[in-house]
């Protein structure tokens, strides 16, 4: 039995950030903000997230890029 696209997306969201196709800067900022995977990020309130001292617009743009490449951008566009 094949995995569904939903299974793939959930697996991707739960992948450790250090294993994602992302820059070292993205990985470091994510770690500084206390995130270990994308699921934790997309479950965080965007206003609260943007006020974190380690947040940057560059980090957010990379988040958008990573999610967009995997068809998951809708998860932060709430």
Two tokens at 17? 């950030």
Q: For tokens 């820059």, what's the residue? A: 23
Q: Fill in the DSSP letter of residue 26.
A: H
pLDDT tens readout for residues 22-65: 999 999 999 999 999 999 999 999 999 999 999 999 999 999 99
Two tokens at 11? 């697996």
Whether the predicted pLDDT of 15 surpasses 90: yes
The model's pTM is: 0.86
CA distance 15 to 28: 15
């Amino acid at each position: 039995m094949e995995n569904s696209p939903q299974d793939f997306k959930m697996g991707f969201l739960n992948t450790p950030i250090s294993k994602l196709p992302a820059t070292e800067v993205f990985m470091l900022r994510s770690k500084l903000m206390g995130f270990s995977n994308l699921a934790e990020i997309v479950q965080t309130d965007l206003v609260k997230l943007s006020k974190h001292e380690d947040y940057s617009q560059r980090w957010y743009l990379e988040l958008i890029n990573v999610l967009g490449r995997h068809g998951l951008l809708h998860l932060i566009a709430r």
